[in-house]
C-alpha cells in the first residue's frame, strides 16, 4: 500500500486544466484584438481608396470643363449667374456625364457654376465640381475658374 501512495504523490511535468484554460483565454483575447485591428485597417484602406477616386475624378472633371465648358453645361447669358447642374438637372444629351461607375460604385457629379459682373468682363466662370459617393458618405469639392474666351 505504501508503494501505491508513492506512485500517486510524485510530481509529474504537465499542465493542469486551469492553466490550459487560462492560456486559451489569453490567446483568444490577443487574437480577437489583432483580428479587429486588421478589419479596421482594411475598412480604412477601402474608404481612403474611395476618397482618392473622388478627388481624382473631381480634378479630372474640372480640367475637362476647362477644355470644353459647353460639353457639361449651357453657357450663361445674364449677369450675376448661378446655377447647379447634376443628374436631376441637366440637358438630356449631357446627363450621362453626371454619373460615373468606377469600381462598382456610382460616383455622382454636381457642378455649381456662377459668374459675377467682373468675371463676365474677364470671360471667366467660377466652377465648383463636387463628387459624391452617397453610400459611403464621401464628398469632395474642387473649385476653379474656366475661361470661355469672351474676355
Q: What are the tens digits of pLDDT across the range 12-57?
A: 678 889 999 999 999 999 999 999 999 999 999 999 999 999 999 9
Residues 112, 92 contacting (CB under 8 angstroms): no
- The whole-model pTM stands at 0.73
pLDDT at 8 over 60: no
CA distance to 58, 99, 120, 138, per residue, from 102 (Å): 13, 10, 36, 14
Among 11-20, 53-62, 122-131, 139-148, the least confident range: 11-20
Pick left, alpha or beta for residue 148 (phi over 0 → left; psi -120 to 50 → alpha; otherwise beta).
alpha
The pLDDT of residue 88 is 84
The pLDDT of residue 4 is 54
The pLDDT confidence band at residue 91, using thresholds 50, 70 and 90, is confident
pLDDT at 2 over 70: no
Average pLDDT in the 115-144 region?
91
pLDDT at 151 over 50: no
Amino acid at each position: 500500500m505504501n508503494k501505491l501512495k508513492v506512485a500517486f504523490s510524485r510530481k509529474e511535468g504537465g499542465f493542469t486544466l486551469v492553466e490550459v484554460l487560462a492560456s486559451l483565454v489569453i490567446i483568444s483575447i490577443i487574437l480577437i484584438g489583432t483580428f479587429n485591428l486588421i478589419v479596421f485597417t482594411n475598412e480604412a484602406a477601402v474608404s481612403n481608396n474611395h476618397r482618392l477616386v473622388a478627388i481624382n475624378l473631381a480634378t479630372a472633371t474640372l480640367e475637362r470643363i476647362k477644355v470644353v465648358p459647353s460639353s457639361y453645361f449651357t453657357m450663361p447669358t445674364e449677369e450675376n449667374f448661378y446655377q447647379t447642374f447634376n443628374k436631376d438637372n441637366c440637358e438630356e444629351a449631357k446627363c450621362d456625364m453626371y454619373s460615373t461607375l468606377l469600381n462598382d460604385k456610382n460616383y455622382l457629379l454636381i457642378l455649381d457654376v456662377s459668374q459675377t459682373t467682373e468675371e463676365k468682363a474677364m470671360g471667366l466662370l467660377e466652377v465648383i465640381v463636387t463628387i459624391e459617393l452617397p453610400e459611403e458618405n464621401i464628398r469632395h469639392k474642387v473649385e476653379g475658374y474656366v475661361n470661355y474666351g469672351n474676355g
